[in-house]
Amino acid sequence: MSEFDRIPRFADVRPEASVTALEQSAEQSVAARRRLAEVTGAAESPDGTVRAVVGGFGLQELVLDPKAMRKPSQDLAQLIVQVTQQAAEDLAQRRAEQAAELGVPGERPDLEQMLTDLARLRSTMAEGQGDARRVFERFRDQTRG
C-alpha cells in the first residue's frame, strides 16, 4: 500500500480526517515530484565518442569527443539522435524505479472520482457547519431566555 492509497474514503470518515489526509497526500506528491524532477538518464555511443544526459526539461548535456568530429556529419547527427533517445529511455526507466521507491502509483489518478469525492466532502462539511450553527443558535437562545 502506498502513501497515496491511505486517503480515507469520504463517505465513512470525519471531514477533518479527509482534509488532513488530502493535505498530507498533496505534500507527499510535491516532494515526490521534486525528487522525480531531479532524475536524469544518460547514454553513451558504443565507441564512447558521444555522451548525452537527459532530464525532465530535455537534453541537459551533450559531450562530443574530438574523434566524433572526424565522422561524416550525417553519421554524427544520427549517432547524436540515437544516443539522446537512449538517454531518454534511461530517464524513463530511472523515473519509474524512483517512483516505485517513493510509492507513487504507476497509473494516473481517477480525476472524476476525485471530483466526486471532493464534492461529497464539501457537502458533508457544509452540513456540519449548518449543524454547528444550529447548535450555537440554540445555545444562544437558551442562554438569553
- Residue 62 CA: distances (Å) to CA of 74, 77, 79, 92: 17, 12, 12, 18
- pLDDT tens digits along 9-36: 544 456 666 667 777 777 877 888 888 8
Query: pLDDT by residue (tens digit) across 31-89?
Result: 888 888 899 999 999 999 999 999 989 999 999 999 999 999 999 999 999 999 999 99
Which of 60, 18, 16, 68 has the alpha carbon at shortest distance from 41?
60
Q: What is the pLDDT of residue 6?
A: 53
Beta pairing partners, 53: 42, 61
Confidence bin at 122 (pLDDT 50/70/90): confident
- Give the relative orientation of helices 15-37 and 111-144 as an angle to the nearest 10 degrees: 140
pTM (2 d.p.): 0.59
Task: Give the model's confidence band at 103: pLDDT under 50 very low, under 70 low, under 90 confident, else very high.
Answer: confident
